[in-house]
Amino acid sequence: MREKSLVAYKNKPAVITEIGEKIGIALSKEKLKVRKRDIEVLHPGPCSLADIRLLEGDVRGAWELMEGEQTTFTELAELVYGEYSPASAWSLFNILLDGLYFYGNVTSVQLRTSEDVAAIEKKRSNRQNAHAERDEFIKRLKERKLLPDDGKFLQDVEALAYGQTEKSRTLRDIRIAETPENAHRLLLDAGVWNFFMNPHPARFGRQLISAQEQIPPIPDEERVDMTDLPAFAIDNAWSTDPDDAVSFDGNCLFVHISDPAASISPNSAADREARSRGATLYLPEAVSRMLCEDSLSVFALGLLEKSPALTFKMTLNKDFSLASTEIFPSWVKVTRLTYESADGRAELEELFRFAENSLRRRIEAGAVNIDLPEVHITVRDRDVNIEPVTAYASSNMVRECMIFTGEAAAQWAIERRLPFPFVTQEAGDLPREFLPGMAGFYQIRRCMRPRSISTKPGFHFGLGLSVYTQVTSPLRRYVDLLAHEQIRAFLKGTEIIQEDALFARLTAGDASATAAVRAERASRAYWTAVYLADKKSSLWDGFMMEKRGNKSVIMIPRLGMETQILLRRDIEPNEQITLKLSSVRLPESEAVFTEEV
């Protein structure tokens, strides 16, 4: 190593300019001082960078001639290029970097075997063919003229569309921003996906199949026979998993709830799978259940002649307030009714009267009532249907019974000092005066704070209750199932889940349930956009909710959706206007409306 020697620095040619504690080198565009170990001497020189160029030589011939022998860097340079010079040294260094026939460094040159050379050549040929094949695919993709087997090149795009990755080489190659929406749009434009591919459940980590863990048979245990007491499971006509039924006898409200916790033990395989799902996923196109499909035939109420249940017997005072609560396993005979068929039935009169008093009591305690339009969306055979949800008195009656049961269960657990999941909600920052009609309900909803779940009881502002929990849907919600596990452990005198462990399971299940809710909400928005996709220029009745910046929030009851539009005039809250559908952006689940004038 001396001044003007040729060296390699980071695989680039350089000439030594100074010898010292650090070595001075000159590259083509800069001068540096580096450590000795950072450079490799290729030729003692003297040379300049002007001497450095790549020479032509018979590298393969030299390899064939020397196969099975040993050589040195200097000897190989002379054999391939006829001389050992700065130019030949640099050329040979690049041959070693290439590594097809020879590999190593200046101090140790190694020869490849024939088998190694053949394998490397095959690999390079395959890679070259793959690059050429991909280049042709990118060309077809830009022209939207894909071949049937081009799907193999779009796996990264589908992964991004499903939210399984944040990167896509394909989108990067065609210079499109790497977002799930752009990936979705590309798959639609290329004809790989159609409108009926809903990516939103996957984006929230939700599965489209029901739970797989089988639930053990119902244990042989003592149950109170309540089959002589009429019990009614009242729900929407499309409901397939009834998990609560109501009865009234004398001064007692009975709420019978499906009893999967009879067979699901805490932290069992079925319990853990339910926790990972958090809740049953209800999509317009499918239902993905928290518990296995087979569990419905056993635990859903009213599907068999008699059903196992966990009954909450709530004895009432004369003013319909709660006097006491008793909980016990039971056998019940359940009649299933739709909300429509339940309205006005004489045998439900006491339940309706109870519900009216319960609602009045809660409103007097500050409960918030929100009544905004709802719709039911179904997707069957590539047909999207949106129907308004009719408000039935029986729907409100069942709701009041379930809320009352949640309040009673919370008080029951507190009285027994049982670690338990509680649902709370802080007070919202409500205005002193509300607008009338839908705009007022919208105003209230905007002020509400999210509910919280913990092992500490507390006030539920929206319901107007000092304590509250959820226990009426153990087939559908993990929090309810967890509450049932605690209740059953207490009733049987077996080991209960202690507070720390309960909180860990509670928060895990609630996080999964939140993801399910978000997936449902995103899916509903997506299918609404699909429903509107072929309805450009259609007209829709809308109602003014509020002014937000330079835009107005408009409620479209027929679609159960809100939209923001720029109005050219001022209108009052609740005022009706006619909207015209301008366009639909399916990947964004957005419909754009303008005012029809």
Please give the Cα distance from 362 to 359 (Å, whole number): 5
Type of residue found at 264: I
Residue 538 contacts by C-beta under 8 Å, 6 or more apart in sequence?
532, 580, 581
Please give the Cα distance from 173 to 516 (Å, whole number): 34
Please give the Cα distance from 358 to 152 (Å, whole number): 60
Pairing label, strands 108-111, 102-105: antiparallel
CA nearest 537: which of 478, 509, 578, 576?
578
Q: The domain at 533-595 falls in which architecture?
A: Beta Barrel (2.40)
pLDDT of residue 149: 85
pLDDT of residue 429: 85
**Any idea which residue has 């805490």 for tokens?**
266
pLDDT of residue 469: 98
The count of other CB atoms within 10 Å of the CB of residue 346 is 6
Question: What residue ranges do the domains of the chain occupy?
Answer: 6-114, 115-193, 225-524, 533-595
Please give the Cα distance from 415 to 326 (Å, whole number): 12
**Any idea which residue has 């090149």 for tokens?**
153
| Segment holding 14, helix H or strand E | strand 12-18
State both tokens at 267.
């932290």
pLDDT of residue 78: 94
CATH classification number, 115-193, choose in 3.30.750.24, 1.10.10.10, 1.10.600.10, 3.50.50.60: 1.10.10.10
CA angle 44, 48, 53 (to 5 degrees): 95
Collapsed DSSP state (helix, strand, coil) of residue 542: strand
CA atoms within 13 A on the CB side of 246: 26
> Distance of CA 399 to CAs 107, 282, 312, Å?
84, 19, 15
**For residues 279 and 512, is the Cβ–Cβ distance under 8 A?**
yes
pLDDT of residue 284: 96
CA nearest 226: which of 295, 313, 299, 300?
313
**For residues 231 and 334, is the Cβ–Cβ distance under 8 A?**
yes
Residue 570 contacts by C-beta under 8 Å, 6 or more apart in sequence?
none
Residue 61 contacts by C-beta under 8 Å, 6 or more apart in sequence?
none
CA atoms within 13 A on the CB side of 588: 6
pLDDT by residue, tens only, the chain of 597 residues: 789 999 999 999 999 999 988 999 999 889 999 999 999 999 998 999 988 999 999 999 999 988 778 889 999 999 999 999 999 999 999 999 999 999 999 999 999 999 999 999 999 999 998 899 899 999 999 888 888 888 889 999 999 999 999 999 999 999 999 999 999 999 999 889 999 999 999 999 998 999 999 999 999 999 999 999 999 999 999 999 999 999 999 999 999 999 999 999 999 999 999 999 999 999 999 999 999 999 999 999 999 999 999 999 999 999 999 999 999 999 999 999 999 999 989 999 999 999 999 999 999 999 999 999 999 999 998 899 999 999 999 999 999 999 999 999 999 999 999 999 999 999 988 888 889 999 999 999 999 999 999 999 999 999 999 999 999 999 999 999 999 999 999 999 999 999 999 999 999 999 999 999 999 999 999 999 999 999 999 999 999 999 988 899 999 999 999 999 998 888 999 999 999 999 999 999 999 999 987
Please give the Cα distance from 365 to 321 (Å, whole number): 13
